[in-house]
């Protein structure tokens, strides 16, 4: 028979050892600031809470060129790593037409302007889902 202490050792570490994650709202403010610092343009935030299990927020921004898109993504990855968010995935750095930075609760899309216009994620995510239509 195991004691309560032995059982606790097999479970999660004590609370004082577990790092506290910043709320997604606080991290969102920092992400928006970092994008602004990197001279990203047309920064739009979409609240995903209750709409998707992908995360809490989606942030969409534009870079002036493929080099600018790559630089924005790299700066954002660096800031997130310094913040202690180690599970950041980045995709699209090969071509830098569209880079996705997945910071767990926040998805950041950095596009070249033409690519952003083509995919038009803002329109797709702002569409009303069936059953959510407001009555008049």
The 10s digit of each residue's pLDDT in 72-93 is 999 999 999 999 987 889 999 9
CATH of the domain at 50: 3.30.460.10
Q: According to the model, what pLDDT value does residue 127 have?
A: 60
Count structural domains, the chain: 1
**Could you tell me if residue 124 is inside a domain?**
no
Q: Is 28 exposed, middle or buried (0-12, 13-18, 19+ CB in 10 A)?
A: buried
**Could you tell me if residue 39 is inside a domain?**
yes
**Could you tell me if residue 45 is inside a domain?**
yes
**Could you tell me if residue 58 is inside a domain?**
yes
Which contiguous run of DSSP H or E holds residue 76?
helix 66-82
Domain range for 78: 22-119
**Could you tell me if residue 9 is inside a domain?**
no
For the question of whether the overall pTM of this predicted structure is more than 0.85, the answer is no
Query: Does residue 9 carry a pLDDT above 80?
Result: no
Which contiguous run of DSSP H or E holds residue 125?
helix 121-126
């Amino acid at each position: 028979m195991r004691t309560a202490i032995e059982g606790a050792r097999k479970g999660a570490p004590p609370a004082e050892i577990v790092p506290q994650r910043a709320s997604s709202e606080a991290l969102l403010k920092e992400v928006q600031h970092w994008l602004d610092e990197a001279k990203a343009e047309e920064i739009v935030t979409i609240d995903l809470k209750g709409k998707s299990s992908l995360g809490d927020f989606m942030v969409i921004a534009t870079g002036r060129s493929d080099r600018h898109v790559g630089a924005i993504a790299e700066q954002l990855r660096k800031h997130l790593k310094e913040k202690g968010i180690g599970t950041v995935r980045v995709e699209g750095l090969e071509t830098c037409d569209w880079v996705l930075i997945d910071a767990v609760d926040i998805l950041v899309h950095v596009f070249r302007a033409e690519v952003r216009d083509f995919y038009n994620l803002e329109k797709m995510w702002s569409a009303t889902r069936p059953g959510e239509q407001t009555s008049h």
